Amino acid sequence: MHKSKWLLKSIGLAVLPLAFATAWAEDAPDAHKDVTPAELKYQAGASPLAGVEMHQDVNPKAPSMTKAEFDKARQIYFERCAGCHGVLRKGATGKPLTPDITLGKGTDYLKVFIEYGSPAGMPNWGTSGELTKDEVDLMARYVQQTPPQPPEFGMPEMKATWKVIVPPEQRPTKKMNNYNLNNIFSTTLRDTGEVMLIDGDTKKVINIVKTGYAVHISRTSASGRYLYVIGRDAKINLIDLWMPKPDNVAEIRTGLEARSVETSKYKGFEDKYAIAGSYWPPQFVIMKGDTLEPLKIVGTRGMTVDTQEYHPEPRVASIVASHFKPEFVVNVKETGKILMVDYSDINALKTTELQAARFLHDGGWDASKRYFMVAANQSNKVAAVDAKDGKIAGIIEVGKIPHPGRGANFIDPQNGPVWATGHLGDETISLIGTDPAKHKANAWKVVRTLKGQGGGSLFLKTHPKSQNLWVDTTLNPDPKISQSIAVFDIKNLEKPYDVLPIAEWANLGEGAKRVLQPEYNEKGDEVWFSVWSAKNQESAIVVVDDKTRKLKTVIKDPKLITPTGKFNMLNTQHDIY
């Protein structure tokens, strides 16, 4: 055979199964097509379940695997795949990978799919160098096995982890330090399992508190005394800010993987309860606010809002506390349900179920704190929840994969009050009207779309005293973009944004130096940015003057390792954003 003809035939044979694999992915109803590098970075985050022991159920129809191979493949799956395909491989934002589907495809077919990926969102794990040839083969065999199920985590398991380090009766009866509690920043040290408490007035470190793995959020209690932090391993730490040096007074694990914690804020219930939501098991837990004693566990498994099909692992995403009623607003990711949980009597818990859109994630209150705006990220929608009337006010089509953090509230000069979100999947910033009383025609619509630096935005922020809207692009593949910040003039939104070289101002050595999560201080005249590099590289916090947009100071410390989220106590306590 002529060499060129042989080469074409070989290429054709190689491309054929890839085409089949691509078609298989594109047929999936949940496929996220034209996936961007930013989306892949976001979705492929490691899960704490990678280290959890799980039973290998030998399926005689599946390719053989030793226990060592199974355990290695399971670890790879939970570190790289579970975020999209789900703990039980039944599909989440990605398609199902259960044996009823994968066995029929066969090992060779699956190897091509894993090696090359697809336009529907599957990363090219092999050709990118993320997985070796042997690991691609391992994963092709693994996804044909019966999915191992992590253990449940109920009341006995929770109470076995629950520790009251300092009982309430032994805690201070008044503030025992000279810190301005309103201006403390709880800063996540992602890869060390700690939070660094930084004095916003002096820029000095108050304390470094041991917490769970990769703290996701920090929340201030209604009184401002307590700080709740939760790691991705579902460990919650309760920190008493009245102590001479603020530190842990209680801790608990409420599951095996989690993202959300909140505290009761309604009048008469201040500091009384805390609530945490888990990714696994799919449930939320109500606890005593001052000790974290678990009181009530509620599962979230159930039917989806669109196809009304049963979903075995609907993860609990964001949770916020209503200012209008003794209610928690609990957002359930895979089912697309928003649960209004009345905690006035937890022994007779009442829950109102609202139907929004699937893959609910993060969000925040509008300026009035009546409407909760939550991103249904893979549906490219934002749902507006009326916390006063207990109903959906609107569901708004936005850009590709909204990721607002808490969002940003301000007055659009032409359109009135708006709440803004950036996006992981495109460069837009969507401004949604939030004032049905005085600007009815604009309510629950995108009234303006701004163009930012690019996709990969995780957070944006402004402040009631500011004229600036700050937008990060942390996961953008271009370092010039991920290492800078875009800032818009709220009073002149037609004006092009300015770009500030935040990472350059940090004056660090080698590293990714990704800039993320603008956070205001108590007075609203400073904006803090994390400059996030690897665990073995120098990171920093950059503080910018909000009015002049000039560098104010850089916070560095040998123990400031992988800083990500920063939470100002006053702004978090009162939902100011």
The catalytic residue positions are: 81, 84-85, 122, 361, 403
- Which residue, 255, 254, 250, 191, is CA-closest to 226? 250
Task: Give the orientation angle of helix 133-142 with respect to helix 107-116, to 10 degrees.
Answer: 130
Distance CA 112, CA 106 (A): 10
What is the DSSP track for 6-73? HHHHHHHHHHHHHHHHHHHHHT-TT---S--HHHHHHHT---GGGGS-------TTSPP--HHHHHHH
Distance CA 272, CA 395 (A): 32
- Which residue, 45, 50, 25, 28, is CA-closest to 116? 25
73-78-80 Cα angle (round to 5) = 90
Helix (H) or strand (E) holding 168: none
**What does the chain come to in residues?**
577
Helix (H) or strand (E) holding 140: helix 133-142
- 104 class by beta-carbon count within 10 Å (0-12 exposed, 13-18 middle, 19+ buried): exposed
264-266-267 Cα angle (round to 5) = 125
3-class secondary structure, 505: helix
Distance CA 51, CA 256 (A): 10
What is the DSSP track for 367-417? TTSSEEEEEEGGGTEEEEEETTTTEEEEEEE-SSSB--TT-EEEEETTTEE
